[in-house]
Amino acid sequence: MLSFPSPGSQQRVGPSGQSGRNKVALKPGHSLMDWIRFSKSGKDLTGLRGRLIEVTQEELKKHNKRDDCWTCIRGLVYNVTPYMDYHPGGEEELMKAAGIDGTELFDQVHRWVNYESMLKECLVGRMSTLPTTTIKAMNPPPPPTSLAPPTSLAPPPDKDSRPRYDWFQTEASVHLVVYAKRKIPGSGCTVVDLEAGVFRLQVLLGKMSYMLHLRLAEDVEGNVAVHTAFTVGKIQITMRKQAKGKWTSLGQPLESHNTFLRHKDRAVYHRDCVLVSKTEVNHNTHVFRLQLPRGTVMHVPVGKHVYLKALIQDTEVVRPYTPVDQNLAAASCQSPQDSDLYLMIKVYPDGVITPHLNSLSIGDHISVSGPEGTFSLRPLRDVTDLYLLAAGTGFTPMARLIRLALQDIDTIRKSKLLFFNRREEDILWRCQLDALAANDERFQVEYVLSEPCEGWTGRRGRVDESMLKDFLNRPDGSKCYVCVCGPTAFTELTIGLLKQQGFSEEDLHAFQG
């Protein structure tokens, strides 16, 4: 239950403009770092003096008050009473799960959080198993023998619509083919990880996820080739054998092999990437270039983000970041083989994870998840006018959208960016934005400063109704779409103002985590 999103993060509000969480003002001394220090202080946070117990439904229900609050997440029961004053969403949000199973509520907001690490000192025990007659009726897998949380499975989709896979081989190579049984959207993504002989493939198909997970029968070279036929729904993965010859099988199935589940029911998987460069953008923001492991193939679609995970004072801390291209003109000069991730990150001196990231040296490792997020390119198909409203680092998802609109979507006649910052020196990639606007008449950018210097001749102030009316031109016969990204207060106010001006849910997207 981390402070998510962090102050100033772009990953805040859902497509409808309704915030997944309501941030509250925490008392002084109750930040995430304060919680980490408090939880390591040796105090008894469970009230059980270190014992772990089995908790029945009846017992769980008793602990449903502000000063005695237990909740269950994936079969594990926590006493969250000590965490109340530290929770960024406030006690009201925690109390929604008081005395009950809070897994669904938890997943709606932050399924990616390592709650086991954050709340391990609050662990009461696990839920006791159900009566035998109930288990027989439900026929679930046998209960785990340890405190590891059970996996959450969605009802299996119709068998005929499930993706399937096959494989074939030559003397020198092995080929694995996935038949998705549906068109694979251009913004869909396939992620392959090959490490120490273990092959892991995840294909995102809308809200569903298909996975293959195998220990390969024989050794292969580290490089993996992936070819996708989007319209026919076919993905082929090719690996070169280390020793020529015939395999008798593809390998040994591992956990979650050949499963088709809701993506949100998958555990978030991270791989170790290497920091290869850090380039200054302005006085407090850098672009971190991360190199994927040799056996990983992953391209993050436009509008999606990844999670970075770091161990801070023995606690896993996770934060979302939206990749950018190497620069605004990257698509025309970037090599197709360049699969590195570029993350534009603002360093907050009192932040939890950014000082750690800033302290990393070239060659150090960073743990990175696969692509996440709800953004879809589908609504842009017939858009003629694209409006982008960004505040601070909320610019990051807009950077690739701008390039996409200008180079790949012929129907978009005009893209306009209204970029809010405090001071002139805070504007990210200003020279590139100005150059792009000067060289392409379909792109316009305007800057708004809340604390401008005396010589500033551009827009001043904060987002308001008159500013948006002036900026948003809706010609007759046009199809407009608006993307919003910034801190919570900015995003919620902006979405509200846009709806007042007649924009519908279908005309808007606010980036979320």
pLDDT (tens digit per residue) in 294-316: 999 999 999 999 999 998 888 88
| Residues contacting 51, CB < 8 A, separation 6+ | none
> pLDDT at position 315, please?
83
Q: Do residues 48 and 124 lie in contact, with contact meaning Cβ atoms separated by under 8 Å?
A: yes
Model pLDDT for residues 219-263, shown as the tens digit of each residue? 999 999 999 998 889 999 999 999 999 999 999 999 999 999 998
Number of neighbouring beta carbons within 10 Å of residue 173: 15
> pLDDT at position 137, please?
38
Inform me whether the pLDDT recorded for 29 exceeds 80. Answer: no
> pLDDT at position 335, please?
55
Number of neighbouring beta carbons within 10 Å of residue 497: 20
> pLDDT at position 39, please?
84
| Residues contacting 134, CB < 8 A, separation 6+ | none
> pLDDT at position 218, please?
96
> Whole-angstrom Cα distance, residue 398 to residue 443?
13
Number of neighbouring beta carbons within 10 Å of residue 92: 11
Q: What is the dihedral of CA 393, 395, 397, 403, to 10 degrees?
A: -150
| 210 conformational bin, left if phi > 0, alpha if psi -120 to 50, beta if neither | beta
> Whole-angstrom Cα distance, residue 339 to residue 353?
24
Model pLDDT for residues 357-383, shown as the tens digit of each residue? 999 999 999 999 999 988 988 899 899
Q: Please give the angle made by the CA atoms of 461, 467 and 468, to the nearest 5 degrees.
A: 130
> Whole-angstrom Cα distance, residue 12 to residue 23?
10
Of the candidates 446, 510, 506, 447, which has an alpha carbon nearest to the alpha carbon of residue 483? 510
> Whole-angstrom Cα distance, residue 480 to residue 507?
7
Please name the residue that has the structure tokens 């962090």: 6
Of the pLDDT bands very low, low, confident and very high (cuts 50, 70, 90), residue 477 is: confident
Number of neighbouring beta carbons within 10 Å of residue 50: 7
Alpha-helical regions (H) of 208-296: none
Average pLDDT, the chain: 85
Model pLDDT for residues 157-173, shown as the tens digit of each residue? 566 789 999 999 999 99
> Whole-angstrom Cα distance, residue 192 to residue 178?
12
Higher pLDDT, 513 or 110: 110
Q: Mean pLDDT over residues 405-433, rounded?
A: 95
Model pLDDT for residues 125-148, shown as the tens digit of each residue? 888 864 433 333 334 444 443 444
The pair phi, psi for residue 156, each rounded to 5°, is -60, 135
> pLDDT at position 115, please?
73
Alpha-helical regions (H) of 119-239: 132-138
